[in-house]
Chain A
Amino acid sequence: MSTGEMSFSRPFEIGRKAEISIRLSEFEIPPIQDVLVVGKKAPIGPEAVKRMVDALSPEQYVVIRLEHDVFEAAVLKKSLLKFIPQDKLLPIILKECSAIATEDSVIKAQLNIVVQVNKVVDL
């Protein structure tokens, strides 16, 4: 062996492997469920949200622009507003979202609204 040449006392094999795992699930249509609240510095703005919901679920959502410290817009499922008016529902949602969100956030919310009716009738 001449000077300067490298030698290995034990040859080794080079092997490359890839492991693939796949999770399949159904894409929800619409993907935003009942409510979406958009922060002022969120990666998506009100106009983009509007276009998204109009394309994915035409006429099912209403986009409300907000004058709020943290949030810029809220998207509400129109059918919810048949149960409870917007002016009652929105403050509740914003109050809860404010507790957990920042200006950068987009919060998705699922709502269960149960309307209880008690009526008394004369017998």
Chain B
Amino acid sequence: MTTVENIMNRRIITASPFDSVRKAAEMMNEFKVGCLPVIESGQLVGIITSRDIRCSHPNRLVIDAMSKDLITVTPSCSIWDAAEIVERYKIERLVVAEDGKLLGIVTKLELYHELGKHFDTLTGLNKAEYLYYITGKLIRNNIALSIVFIDLDGFGEVDKKYGHIIGDEVLYRVANIIKAHVDEKLDYPCRYAGDEFAVVTVRPASTVKEYALKIVNAIASYNWDGGMKITASAGVVNCQPAIKSDCDIREFVNIASLASTKAKKKGVPVFTVFCNKE
């Protein structure tokens, strides 16, 4: 999973609490940065931003002008959590620190640039890595979840028979059908790969099979152009696991994927697996 450690800038220009605001402003101009973390005895004690500088007399000490209520993240923070923090606190830069030690800085621009790599422009859905992120997050917060893994049936034939442009159009419309079934508070959809989609959901486990069936039926009953017949199979995995690592999360997603394959083999629209790794 992509974390802020993967994208943070490690070469950081810092200020001392006892530098003047004037000196801090000069440093920011010279190095073309919008803020300076403030370090005292190796510890991060604050941050002085261009806004702090605009609001302070240049004769002041940095310690009297800096923002002391620091918003920091650890290097292992995911880029999605980091983006949420940036939006919540309306900040342009996120300081990466651990045990009071400054490790790096990530700007909002760098963060969104990286997030863009995990976004599928064809369907407007997040890519597979988001699935791992959200699954891990829910599990860490001890929230029961299910994964609905949706695989289009014989999609390779659509590409061969109608061409890839039409194939892409089908994928786009399937994504829209899935989005139409998403409750933002409960469901987290993504395009897993190719013609495979997944929805992580916190709906009650007993209702998820029915939810998956609704999506599969909506895909099959859609008025596809040129009399195309598009169907899908779904694998559902309900889980309240004691998952400890990313490896377990991947295994969990894999079980959902295999369940969709079983649905195809058994000729049923949805196949459900209960998974409890206690």
Contact = CB atoms under 8 A, between A and B. Distances in A.
**Secondary structure call for the A interface:** loop
B61 A47 contact: yes
Contacts of B55: 41
Contacts of A47: 17, 61, 63-64
Contacts of B60: 42-45, 48
B63 A42 contact: no
B64 A46 contact: yes
A47 B66 CA distance: 11
Interface in A8-44: 41-44
B144 to A, nearest CB: 45
A104 interface: yes
Contacts of B113: none
Nearest to B56: A41
B97 to A, nearest CB: 22
A47 B17 CA distance: 10
B44 interface: no
Contacts, number: 28
A1 to B, nearest CB: 57
A20 B95 CA distance: 55
A44 B59 contact: yes
Interface in B12-50: 17
B23 to A, nearest CB: 14
A119 B17 CA distance: 53
A47 B68 CA distance: 13
Contact of B61 (A41, A48, A104): A48
A42 to B, nearest CB: 6
B51 interface: no
Interface string A109-120: 000000000000
A19 to B, nearest CB: 31
A47 B65 CA distance: 10
Closest 5 CB pairs of A and B: A45-B64, A43-B59, A43-B57, A47-B63, A45-B60
27 contacts: A41-B55, A41-B56, A41-B57, A42-B57, A42-B60, A43-B57, A43-B59, A43-B60, A44-B57, A44-B59, A44-B60, A44-B64, A45-B56, A45-B60, A45-B61, A45-B63, A45-B64, A46-B64, A47-B17, A47-B61, A47-B63, A47-B64, A48-B60, A48-B61, A48-B63, A48-B64, A104-B57
Interface of B: 17, 55-57, 59-61, 63-65
Given A41-B55, A45-B61, 11 more contacts: A41-B57, A42-B57, A43-B59, A44-B59, A44-B60, A44-B64, A45-B60, A48-B60, A48-B61, A48-B63, A104-B57
